[in-house]
Homo-oligomer: A and B are copies of this chain.
Amino acid sequence: MTGRDQIIAALSGVVTPGCILTDSGDMQRYLTDWRRQFHGKAACVVRPSSTGEVADILRCCAEMNVAVVPHGGNTGLAGGAIPDDSAGQVVISLERMNRIRALDATALLIEAEAGVILQTAQEAARAAGRKLPVSIASEGSATIGGIVATNAGGLNVLRYGMTRDLVLGLEVVLADGTIVNGMRKLRKNNAGQDWKQLFIGTEGSLGLVTAAVLRLVPKPRHRAVAMVSVESVDQAVSLLDMALTSVGETLTAFELLSASALAHVKRHFGKEAPIRQGNWFLLIEAASSLSGLDRAFEDLMTTAFEQALATDGVVAASEAQANALWALREHITEAESRAGYSMKHDVSLPLRSIASFIEEFGMALDAIDPHAAPNVFGHLGDGNLHVNVILSDTAKAQVIMQTVHDLVATRGGSISAEHGLGQYRLDEWMRLTPRAERELVGLLKRTLDPRAILNPGKAVPGNE
């Protein structure tokens, strides 16, 4: 292994000295994630300010066989941006590459460097009368490079898709320092192999994303928000079907919240749903350039009551009411963290198997640890559940995780709907993924990263 001093000396030769952090205090914020679940050490942290500098760093590290760990806004939930504890890896923070290079409201696209904060890009889009439709809790810190590298999901996937669906162009630096410039400002390009797809969602394990061209969408001018309480997940699925038929493409969110998730919100923040409680709550949002959504939501609600699909419900009569309903959803994660140490599972399931999954999961958890409290919520419209568990006994964490994932795998689901594998779920992915798929993914990793220096141990299996 190359020694720390040697690494720092070599890197000092290729980047300006101010780029390199070596002091342990200075490095600290790059070595632990925001939830303090993952901790690592690094030889140093490098903060390049241009694509050329990123290429120089990679070429230098490749020569020394030193691994690099790209680092964005540090808001990931799977430890993808945190180095291992060998103190032999180099963290590359893209934070200084923070320029919005271009924005075209008519062509509906924005061109931004990896370090641009998502919220900054959203605001630029909004100022131009358009919308960058990635909406995640961490948008004030998450970066463009980070959302591309993790293929971030969020609250609007039902309508606008994952980050992958927004990526029109990418600039990438390969393991050997080669810059591949695919920053085409085109909404449509079907010229052979779309190689940029490989670098989306792979957390820097195949190459480093230094800039992206992202698709914008028109800004809807009207929205409607409703909250409904239902007795069962089956009723929720029936309501989803009904909403797809009546308000269709205008749906932007169809969120499922368990009564217990909202009970935590009430306990810790004093916020409460303005409707009678069922076993489950639904938060439904639609948005359009056309008016008439409130009326459509009222009609939907009436039909739901007539067909005995809902216990109670309300359509927000003002923006303030709409925001108050959303605040219930947005406080779930924080309330959960105040309730105790929680494990997060981020699964997706075929829609029809969600009810059976939740039932079996409840029974299984009860058998493993009757004191553990499930906290289930998620994006029902996408089949994405956050199956979190507030633990009483951390010794049970591993068996609980495997149990959840086994229940998901037998139903053809995914153990990572939107958070990514990172370092947290890679072993589980290896355990549950069929061999042909593992080998294909491994083959591509070895091809693009023959020295295994690109964020090893994250997102995809390595050379071992």
Judged by a CB distance under 8 angstroms, whether A415 is at the interface is: yes
* Contact assessment for A219 and B248 in the assembled complex, using a CB-CB cutoff below 8 Å: yes
* Contact assessment for B189 and A194 in the assembled complex, using a CB-CB cutoff below 8 Å: no
Judged by a CB distance under 8 angstroms, whether A68 is at the interface is: no
* Contact assessment for B178 and A436 in the assembled complex, using a CB-CB cutoff below 8 Å: yes
Interfacial chain B residues near A251, Cβ < 8 Å: 218
With A218-B245, A218-B249, A245-B129 already in contact, the answer to whether A414 and B190 are too (CB < 8 A) is yes
* Contact assessment for B194 and A218 in the assembled complex, using a CB-CB cutoff below 8 Å: no
Interfacial chain B residues near A352, Cβ < 8 Å: 104, 106-107
Q: Name A291's closest neighbour in chain B (CB-CB).
A: B292
Contact of A180 (CB < 8 Å), options: B181, B193, B381, B437: B437
Interfacial chain B residues near A153, Cβ < 8 Å: 188, 190
Judged by a CB distance under 8 angstroms, whether A278 is at the interface is: no
Interfacial chain B residues near A270, Cβ < 8 Å: none
Q: Name A249's closest neighbour in chain B (CB-CB).
A: B218
The B-contacting residues of A in range 172-186, CB under 8 angstroms, are 174, 178-182, 184-186
In the complex, per-residue mask of A236-256: 1 if CB is within 8 Å of any chain B CB, else 0: 010011001111111100000
* Contact assessment for B416 and A185 in the assembled complex, using a CB-CB cutoff below 8 Å: no
> How far does the alpha carbon of A391 sit from the alpha carbon of B61 in the complex, in Å?
55
A241 → chain B closest CB, angstroms: 4
* Contact assessment for B413 and A186 in the assembled complex, using a CB-CB cutoff below 8 Å: yes
> How far does the alpha carbon of A448 sit from the alpha carbon of B217 in the complex, in Å?
36
Interfacial chain B residues near A191, Cβ < 8 Å: 414-416, 420-421, 425, 429, 433
In the complex, per-residue mask of A125-154: 1 if CB is within 8 Å of any chain B CB, else 0: 000011000000000000000000011010
> How far does the alpha carbon of A374 sit from the alpha carbon of B220 in the complex, in Å?
38
Q: How many residues of A contact B (CB 8 A)?
A: 100
The B-contacting residues of A in range 154-200, CB under 8 angstroms, are 157, 161-162, 164-165, 174, 178-182, 184-195, 197-198, 200
Judged by a CB distance under 8 angstroms, whether A70 is at the interface is: no
> How far does the alpha carbon of A437 sit from the alpha carbon of B293 in the complex, in Å?
46
With A190-B153, A290-B288 already in contact, the answer to whether A180 and B241 are too (CB < 8 A) is no
A237 → chain B closest CB, angstroms: 6
Interfacial chain B residues near A245, Cβ < 8 Å: 129, 218
> How far does the alpha carbon of A247 sit from the alpha carbon of B219 in the complex, in Å?
10
* Contact assessment for B195 and A201 in the assembled complex, using a CB-CB cutoff below 8 Å: no
Judged by a CB distance under 8 angstroms, whether A59 is at the interface is: no
Interfacial chain B residues near A218, Cβ < 8 Å: 244-245, 248-249, 251
A453 → chain B closest CB, angstroms: 17
Interfacial chain B residues near A106, Cβ < 8 Å: 237, 240-241, 244, 351-352
Judged by a CB distance under 8 angstroms, whether A382 is at the interface is: yes
A277 → chain B closest CB, angstroms: 25
Interfacial chain B residues near A201, Cβ < 8 Å: 190, 192-194
Judged by a CB distance under 8 angstroms, whether A383 is at the interface is: yes
* Contact assessment for A382 and B244 in the assembled complex, using a CB-CB cutoff below 8 Å: no
> How far does the alpha carbon of A181 sit from the alpha carbon of B459 in the complex, in Å?
20
Judged by a CB distance under 8 angstroms, whether A60 is at the interface is: no
* Contact assessment for B384 and A188 in the assembled complex, using a CB-CB cutoff below 8 Å: yes
* Contact assessment for A416 and B189 in the assembled complex, using a CB-CB cutoff below 8 Å: yes
A11 → chain B closest CB, angstroms: 23
Judged by a CB distance under 8 angstroms, whether A223 is at the interface is: no
Q: Name A247's closest neighbour in chain B (CB-CB).
A: B289
What residues of chain A have their CB less than 8 Å away from a CB belonging to chain B?
104-108, 129-130, 150-151, 153, 157, 161-162, 164-165, 174, 178-182, 184-195, 197-198, 200-202, 205-206, 217-221, 237, 240-241, 244-251, 288-293, 296, 348-352, 379, 381-384, 412-421, 425-426, 429, 433-434, 436-437, 439-441, 443-445, 447-448, 459-460
Ordered by A's residue number, 17 sampled pairs between the chains whose C-beta atoms are within 8 Å are A108-B244, A162-B188, A180-B436, A181-B434, A186-B412, A189-B348, A190-B418, A193-B201, A194-B201, A195-B437, A218-B251, A220-B248, A249-B249, A250-B289, A289-B296, A290-B291, A292-B292
Assuming A188-B418, A190-B414, A192-B460, what are 20 further A-B pairs, CB within 8 angstroms?
A: A153-B190, A157-B187, A180-B437, A182-B437, A184-B412, A184-B414, A185-B350, A189-B416, A190-B416, A191-B414, A191-B415, A192-B459, A193-B460, A194-B201, A197-B197, A218-B244, A220-B249, A246-B289, A250-B290, A444-B447
